[in-house]
Amino acid sequence: MKDKSRYLEDLKRVIQEGEVDLRIIDTLNILNSKENYYTTSSCAGRIILIELEEIGGKKESNFIFKSHEKVDYKNIWRIINEYTGNKMLFLIVNSSIIHVVCKDLESAKRLINISKESGFKYSSIFSFTDKIIVEIRSTEKMDVPIVKDGKIYPSEEYVMMLVEIANQLIDRIKKKIETLNENLREM
């Protein structure tokens, strides 16, 4: 746990710079207040439009739009229609994700159990190398290709439905974060 103070200083700085999703700050503060844990990275969950050179080609990707809150389909439809790139454009919902360094295996198991009880079903030990790192992650996910070779494939009505589903996923993520926070406080 020797690096905890450095990570907490870094977290304080990035919060002040507005680089941390507001919805996840309480969760990070609760975890970091515990003796056996500290966080190293996080995302509260998000809706994005991203252009990709090829499927899985994250290095060549470019964010066109990103929100950690619910979005208006008209804004998404406008962005799609204004897109002039020649790459593939995807609408993606990512679940929340938090990486937590744990003091020992027992602490990691406890955190995984609490996370899973809170609805974060994909939580697991992420790394064993020099630190035990738990990844708290949920199931909410959506990846939909929207544009390929300059052609918009879905209709406006279909995009409206996709955005409605994306917003429902963001609401589910928010509720799970609230449940996780309650359970972590009781830990």
E strand or H helix at 186? none
Q: Could you tell me the maximum CA-CA distance found in the chain, to the nearest angstrom?
A: 53
SS3 state at 159 = helix
What integer is the mean pLDDT of 90-116? 97
- What is the band of 182 on the pLDDT scale with cuts at 50, 70, 90? very high
In this prediction, residue 164 carries a pLDDT of 98
Q: pLDDT digits over 59-96, tens only?
A: 778 999 999 999 999 999 999 999 998 899 999 999 99
DSSP assignments along 18-59, one per residue: T-S-HHHHHHHHHHHHSTTEEEEEEE--EEEEEEESSTT-GG
Domain ranges within the chain, ordered by starting residue:
4-185
In this prediction, residue 174 carries a pLDDT of 96
What integer is the mean pLDDT of 91-107? 96
Q: What angle do CA 34, 37, 42 make, to 5 degrees?
A: 110
The answer on pLDDT for 9 being more than 80 is yes
Least confident among 8-17, 117-126, 144-153: 8-17
CA distance 67 to 39: 22
- Within a 13 Å sphere around the CA of 135, how many CA atoms are in the beta-carbon half? 13
Q: At what angle do helices 156-185 and 73-82 cross, to 10 degrees?
A: 120
Q: What percent of the chain has pLDDT over 70?
A: 98
Report yes or no on whether pTM surpasses 0.75.
yes
Q: pLDDT digits over 14-47, tens only?
A: 888 888 888 999 999 999 999 999 999 999 999 9
Residue 123 and residue 115 in contact, taking contact as beta carbons nearer than 8 Å: yes
CATH code at 4-185: 3.30.1960.10
The answer on pLDDT for 57 being more than 70 is no
What integer is the mean pLDDT of 9-18? 87
